[in-house]
Copies of this chain bind each other. A is one copy, B any other.
Amino acid sequence: MLKAKGKQTRAEIRNHALLLFAEKGFKKVTMNDICVSTGLSRGGLYRYYSNPAEIFGDILKIIIQSMGDELAKNLKGGKTPTESLDIVLQKLKEDIQNTQTTLTIALIEYCHIYGAKAVESVFSRGTEIWEEFIKYGISQGEFNDVNPKAMASTILILYEGARAGVNLISYSDDFVSGLIECIRYMIVKKPEEK
């Protein structure tokens, strides 16, 4: 019971911190900002996290993990690879359009301070999740016989690239739909090929 509450508090801290990192970048966010935003006391916050970097690292891990969980949940729930893909692509589309949660600048700042290691391991975990999923879709005859690892990296780069771009230019809904359609086109076999 208490453990569950702790888990929930950590999640709430991350949700608040994510919005702050997206708004201000990494460097400018202090533990005090996070106290104010969450309404936790200093002591309360420090029970869960010792510094913003720890929270940021956790946010990155959980973004990737929840993408993997989503794919796994859909497949376990009896969805086909193509149906699972469509659900996750819809989620990615919403992410791309939600500039309030775009971490590009925070990510660049974080890497300048802590080096690339943390981000590399998150990226390679993300690649593994997608690679597994694409392999499974190929084995089921639904996905194109592509290089699963290359395709996995391409999806992540497109996703991160689109999120980075949204900081610079405003996307129309058509634009984002087009991107998602292209990812789908790369992955899913056309009906006549099945």
Contact = CB atoms under 8 A, between A and B. Distances in A.
Interface of A: 104-105, 107-108, 111, 116, 119-120, 123, 144, 146-147, 149-151, 153-154, 157-158, 160-162, 164-165, 167-170, 175, 177-179, 181-183, 185-186
15 contacts: A108-B168, A111-B167, A116-B170, A120-B170, A123-B169, A150-B177, A150-B181, A153-B178, A154-B158, A154-B179, A158-B161, A160-B164, A160-B165, A161-B162, A161-B165
Contacts of A108: 104-105, 108, 167-168
B167 A164 contact: no
A139 B99 CA distance: 37
Contact of A146 (B161, B164, B182, B183): B182
B165 A157 contact: yes
Given A111-B167, A168-B107, A147 B181 contact: yes
Contact of A182 (B119, B151, B169): B151
Nearest to A152: B178
Copies in the complex: 2
A11 to B, nearest CB: 25
Which 5 interchain pairs have the tightest Cβ spacing? A161-B161, A150-B178, A154-B182, A120-B169, A157-B161
A124 B111 CA distance: 30
